[in-house]
């Protein structure tokens, strides 16, 4: 990956939420070098921050887990779309970066990522052709994408038509769960699609992909992983020995323990895990479902790294306070934010025990405040979040703070 390709030209200006900078735009790198303090720096509320210590632990944890269990790792970049974070994941040993859309592939290629796994079917030949051109111009760049239907095969054929370049992106045949999301539903279809792609001059099937997310129990996940493994073996049997090992890639945020057991270290294929949310983890959904709850490391192996700081803007009734944040500032598709700490105007902090977010407007959160806890307008409160993907995408600039609340970086996101 290039050297911080996001920073040159990246300006933080007063139109960026959370940063209070009336004096005009400054480069993000200069901003980070200021070593501002979170609570008396150039910020307004609400403000989403990343806690450096948690980020570091989380990145290291999955790097170690995948290494120890014989899995390659292509963390899902859609979670953060932040070049500074993708860079950390790659530096920790990730094989590549997964993305969800053509535009995310374009963005991530712009960040300098060298290996992109586009985890969806591409129906637009222009996008496949773009990838072929990039790969041919830069032998160190690779893109893989999904095919799950004859229409996907037709898009490959259209892109390959007349192509004279050296290289062409590889197709992963997607297998899906009946009643689930995308992906061919049977082994027969997987093999037919692979055969059809391989019949296109210049194009090739390079493996099989699946997403176990729609499954809700361990037996179902194990069964699906075994189906995928069977698909790869059938693919190898169908086409005979080839030049390289095929790929077998799966999701795994909630099930990477089973992924490790079922396909970790497999020799007939390269097993690739695509988990993304682990990088910040959270205090809601992923805290509940992380496989570490079943592993010897325990549920605390990952730490919620995203903190939303908001100001109490009103305390109009006994037991009710309103914080100045809402649907614009944090995910609300899994749980509402989880109060962590109450920080008063004098800088003293107490746990926000018993405070609950009961309702969300666009720019306001309704807090239920227990008897005995005095919450006043002007107090700050920090919140853990549930579901990093729908929180990251609400912020264009996110300060990274150390455990002493000093701002050590300011990262940009691209959504």
Site for a copy of itself, rule CB under 8 A: 13-20, 22, 44-46, 78, 100-103, 106-107, 110, 120-121, 123-124, 126-127, 130, 148-149, 151-152, 155, 176, 178-179, 181-185, 213, 311-317, 322, 324, 327-328, 332-333, 360-364, 366, 376-378, 389-390, 393-394, 396, 414-415
Q: Which of 33, 62, 37 is nearest to 49 (CA)?
A: 37
Q: Tell me the closest approach of the beta carbon of residue 125 to a copy of itself, in angstroms.
A: 10
- Phi, psi (deg, nearest 5) at residue 194: -60, -45
CB of 370 to a copy of itself, least distance (A): 18
Torsion sign, CA atoms 224, 228, 229, 230: positive
Number of Cβ within a 10 Å radius of residue 141: 18
- Smallest distance from a copy of itself to CB 313, Å: 5
Q: Which is nearer to a copy of itself, 206 or 312 (CB)?
A: 312
What's the full length of the chain, in residues? 415
**CA nearest 119: which of 168, 190, 172, 158?**
172
Cβ proximity to a copy of itself, 346 vs 403, nearer residue: 346
Minimal distance, residue 388 CB to a copy of itself, in Å: 10
CB of 161 to a copy of itself, least distance (A): 16
Rounded-to-integer distance, Cα 98 and Cα 305, Å: 21
Alpha helices in 138-204 (DSSP H): 150-160, 187-198
Largest CA distance in the chain: 74
Output the smallest distance, CB 255 to a copy of itself, in A: 16
> How many angstroms separate the Cα of 390 from the Cα of each of 155, 196, 322?
31, 37, 22
Rg of the chain over Cα atoms, rounded to whole angstroms, equals 23
H/E segment holding residue 172:
strand 170-175
Q: Which is nearer to a copy of itself, 63 or 273 (CB)?
A: 273
Pick the closer one to a copy of itself by CB: 236 or 341: 341
Output 36 or 264, the one with its CB closest to a copy of itself.
Answer: 36
Q: Give whichever of 46 and 339 is closer to a copy of itself, judged by the CB atom.
A: 46
Q: Which is nearer to a copy of itself, 150 or 244 (CB)?
A: 150
248 CB contacts (<8 Å, ≥6 apart)? Answer: 207, 208, 209, 228, 229, 232, 263, 266, 269, 270, 271, 272
Query: Long-range contacts for 353-356 (Cβ within 8 Å, ≥24 apart)?
Result: 355/381
22 token code pair = 């009336």
Specify the residue, 236 or 349, whose C-beta has the smaller distance to a copy of itself. 349
Torsion over CA: 100, 249, 91, 47 (sign):
positive
Smallest distance from the beta carbon of 208 to a copy of itself, in angstroms? 15
Q: How far is the CB of 268 from a copy of itself (least distance, A)?
A: 26
Distance CA 126, CA 151 (A): 14
Token code pair at residue 161: 């038509």
97: its two tokens: 């970066």
Q: By C-beta, is 178 or 296 nearer to a copy of itself?
A: 178
271 or 276: CB nearest a copy of itself: 276
| CA gap 336, 322 in Å, rounded | 14
Q: Is 105 exposed, middle or buried (0-12, 13-18, 19+ CB in 10 A)?
A: buried
Distances (CA, A) of 163 to 132, 144, 203, 233, 414: 9, 17, 10, 31, 31
Min dist. Cβ of residue 240 to a copy of itself (A): 29
**Closest separation between CB of residue 236 and a copy of itself, Å?**
24
């Amino acid at each position: 990956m290039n050297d911080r390709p996001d920073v040159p030209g990246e300006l933080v200006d007063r139109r960026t939420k959370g940063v209070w900078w009336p004096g005009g735009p400054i480069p993000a790198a200069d901003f980070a070098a200021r070593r501002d303090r979170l609570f008396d720096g150039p910020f307004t509320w609400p403000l989403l921050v990343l806690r450096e210590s948690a980020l570091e632990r989380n990145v290291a944890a999955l790097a170690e887990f995948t290494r120890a269990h014989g899995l390659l790792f292509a963390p899902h970049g859609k979670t953060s779309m932040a070049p500074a974070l993708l860079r950390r994941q790659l530096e920790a040993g990730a094989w590549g970066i997964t993305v969800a859309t053509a535009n995310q592939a374009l963005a991530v290629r712009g960040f300098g990522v060298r290996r992109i796994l586009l985890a969806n079917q591409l129906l637009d030949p222009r996008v496949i052709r773009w990838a072929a051109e990039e790969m041919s111009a830069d032998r160190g760049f690779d893109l893989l994408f999904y095919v799950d239907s004859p229409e996907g095969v037709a898009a490959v054929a259209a892109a390959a038509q007349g192509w004279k370049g050296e290289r062409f992106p590889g197709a992963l045949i997607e297998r899906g769960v009946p009643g689930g999301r995308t992906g061919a539903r049977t082994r027969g279809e997987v093999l037919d699609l692979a055969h059809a792609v391989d019949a296109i001059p210049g194009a090739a099937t390079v493996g099989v992909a699946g997403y176990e997310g729609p499954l809700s129990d361990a037996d179902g996940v194990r069964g699906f992983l075994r189906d995928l493994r069977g698909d790869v073996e059938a693919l190898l049997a169908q086409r005979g020995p080839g030049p390289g090992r095929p790929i077998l890639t799966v999701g795994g945020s909630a099930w990477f323990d089973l992924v490790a057991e079922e396909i970790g270290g497999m020799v007939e294929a390269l097993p690739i895990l695509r988990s993304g949310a682990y990088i910040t983890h959270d205090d809601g959904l992923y805290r509940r479902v992380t496989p570490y709850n079943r592993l010897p490391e325990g549920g605390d192996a990952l730490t919620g790294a995203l903190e939303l700081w908001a100001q109490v803007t009103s305390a109009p009734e006994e037991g009710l306070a309103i914080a100045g944040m809402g649907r614009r500032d944090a995910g609300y598709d899994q749980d509402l934010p989880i109060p962590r700490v109450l920080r008063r105007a004098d800088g003293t902090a107490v746990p926000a025990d018993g405070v609950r977010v009961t309702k969300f407007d666009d720019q306001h959160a309704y807090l239920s405040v227990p008897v005995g806890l005095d919450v006043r307008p002007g107090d700050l409160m920090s919140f853990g979040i549930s579901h990093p993907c729908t929180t990251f995408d609400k912020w264009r600039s996110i300060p990274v703070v150390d455990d002493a609340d000093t701002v050590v970086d300011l990262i940009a996101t691209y959504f």
